[in-house]
Amino acid sequence: MKVLYNKIIQKIFIIICGLFISYYLIYFQLKRNIINISSNIHVVDLYATTPAKFQCIKTKKLLNNISTTICLHEIKRDKYVSGAYGDSISIWEEKQVTRILQLLTRHPHLHLIDIGANIGTYTMYAASLGRFVLAIDCFAPNIIRLRRSIQLMNLFNQVVLIQNAIFNHSGQSLRLSIDTRNIGGQRIHLLNNYSYKYNLSTKNPYIVKTITFNEVLPILNAYGIRSALMKIDIEGSEHFVMEKGNQIFDTLDIPFIQMEWTIVKQYINRVKLILDFFNKRNYDPMTDSCQILNQNEYTQWPDDIYWLKRNTSNFC
């Protein structure tokens, strides 16, 4: 009798699980259709379980009271980003993250668009502050760690996580370079002036699917985002954000952009595209101390630069 009872309970459990999964899939598809987003966009399911095990730590407090959780790579494989964390003593790019948090605190209407989120330092701190974050990263091992951090901090309603590479063509498969000691240093591998088709399995984390930046606008609109700060760190591909991002910049108020400049400054065509884009929209390039940079000396600019929209106040 007990065996029969257990079998009945198991069948009921399986049926309930099946109904729940079906409901969730239908709901997710309806939500996708309602906000009319591109089928090329991979919106990550933040509730999915993560079978892999990795270290997750509570970070140090910034601005006296803002702390969060970050899930790390093995330091031997990620010596810069994961290696920057140490038992609540330090974090990755602490000075820059602190600046973003100060601006978000100073301007309560602003949210964050984090392009090249990596394991989520900027995303997790901004979301822990209570701001909405649109986080974009293309590398699956980063995505699963960031998703787990979101779960541990119960920030499901604060973050939309997208697993795609930003490019000037949508729906393509691109290869990432491989750096066995610096996962954060991977970049899109382009040959023959943007030869971009690879017939390889998308289960390979080094083959990534592309979207254009403009394609995420319906998501931002659906969440009622009208004003945001932006951080862009995608290893020399920063110009793709501008190349197909005009609709977002023309629709949203984006007064401040933090951009990595280390690699992209080596390519004059990419630099020209970026400069033309921001000059037309009345932005000035600045240092972290708010000194305007000479655009004729772009090769001498620091590794991180800041684009500030003219006539904005209380940012410097």
In sequence order, the 6+-apart residues with CB closer than 8 A to the CB of 73 are: 54, 81, 82, 119, 141, 145, 183
Residue 153, pLDDT score = 97
Phi-psi region of 116 (alpha: psi -120 to 50; beta: other; left: phi over 0): left
Give the DSSP per-residue string, 227-272. Answer: BEEEEE--TT-HHHHHHT-HHHHHHSB--EEEEE-TTGGG-HHHHH
**Residues paired with residue 133 on neighbouring β-strands, in sequence order:** 112, 159
Helix 121-128 vs helix 94-106: angle between axes, to the nearest 10 degrees? Answer: 30
Q: What's 111's DSSP letter?
A: E
- Sequence-ordered alpha helix ranges (H) in 160-211: none
CATH code at 42-309: 3.40.50.150
Nearest to 103 by CA among 224, 226, 228, 225: 228
- Sequence-ordered alpha helix ranges (H) in 62-139: 94-106, 121-128
Residue 193, pLDDT score = 45
Cβ atoms 58, 88 nearer than 8 A: yes
Residue 23, pLDDT score = 42
CB atoms within 10 A of CB 313: 7
Q: What's 60's DSSP letter?
A: P
Cα–Cα distance measured from residue 192 to residue 173, given in angstroms and rounded to the nearest whole number: 15
pLDDT tens-place values along the chain, 316 residues long:
555 555 555 555 555 554 454 444 444 443 454 568 899 999 999 999 988 889 999 999 999 899 999 999 999 999 999 999 976 689 999 999 999 999 999 999 999 999 999 999 999 999 999 999 999 999 999 999 999 999 999 999 999 999 999 999 999 999 998 888 888 778 887 764 444 555 445 578 889 999 999 999 999 999 999 999 999 999 999 999 999 999 999 999 999 999 999 999 999 999 999 999 999 999 999 999 999 999 999 999 999 999 999 999 899 8
Residue 182, pLDDT score = 85
CB atoms within 10 A of CB 262: 14
Q: Whole-structure pTM over 0.75, yes or no?
A: yes
Residue 30, pLDDT score = 39
Residue 25, pLDDT score = 43
CB atoms within 10 A of CB 162: 22
Phi, psi of 206 (to 5 degrees): -90, 0
Cα–Cα distance measured from residue 99 to residue 310, given in angstroms and rounded to the nearest whole number: 19
Cα–Cα distance measured from residue 230 to residue 220, given in angstroms and rounded to the nearest whole number: 13
Contacts 24+ apart (CB under 8 A), 27-30: none
